[in-house]
Structure 1
Amino acid sequence: TKDYIDLTIKCVEENGPYIVIIPGLALSHSRPDVSVKKTGLSLITLSKPVCFDCDNDPVDIVLTLAATDDTFHLEKLQSMAEFISDEDNIEFIKNAKTTEEVAKAINEFEPEE
C-alpha cells in the first residue's frame, strides 16, 4: 500500500542511503507491517538514474521487498543480496527484454547453503 511506500522512504530519510548496497542498485525495504497486504518483491529499472548522495550513485535498478513477517523478510533479503552480488545477474536485469524473464530468474534463484 502507499503506507508501506511511505515507510520505506521514511527509513531512508532517517537512516541515510543504506539501501544503495552496490553501485547502481538499491534494495528498498522496511520492516514487516500491516500496510503489506501480501509478501512480494518489485523491481524497476530507471531510464533516468537517481542519486542518493552516496558512493554507489547513480542508481538505475531498485528492488523493493515487502514482507508480512520477520522470517520471510530476513530470508528474502539474504537471498536477494546473494542474487545481486553476482555481476552477471545485474547485467541480466539491465539487458532483459521482458519482465517475465527477470521474474523467472529471481524466482528460480536458490541461494547457496
Structure 2
Amino acid sequence: MRCSLPAAISEKPAEPNWALANSKIDERELLASMLYREPRLATDRPGLLVIAGKGFASTEFENDLVRRGAELLRPSFKGEKRRKGESLLKSVWQLRSTTP
C-alpha cells in the first residue's frame, strides 16, 4: 500500500486530499481516479497546472485534464517537441526537493 498526497501551491488554501492505493497502481492512474472521484479538485481551481514527471505522459490523461480545465506540465521525451513551460521545471523540482 502507498499513500499519495498531491500538493497544491495557490493563493487560497487547499483541502488536504489523499488516497491510499495499491503500490502497483501507477501515479497517473491514481491521480486520474482521484479526479474522477472528486472532480472539484480540478474544477474548483480554474487554470490548474499539474506539474509531473514523464510517467504522466498519456494523450488520454492530458485530454482528461484539459476537459477539467487543467493543464499538464511535464518534461518532454527525447525526439518529442519541447513542451510549453518545460524550461521552468528545473527550478520547480529544486524547490520541491528543498521544501521540508
TM class by shorter chain equals: 0.3 to 0.5
Could you tell me the TM-score, scaled by structure 2's length? 0.34
Could you tell me the TM-score, scaled by structure 1's length? 0.32
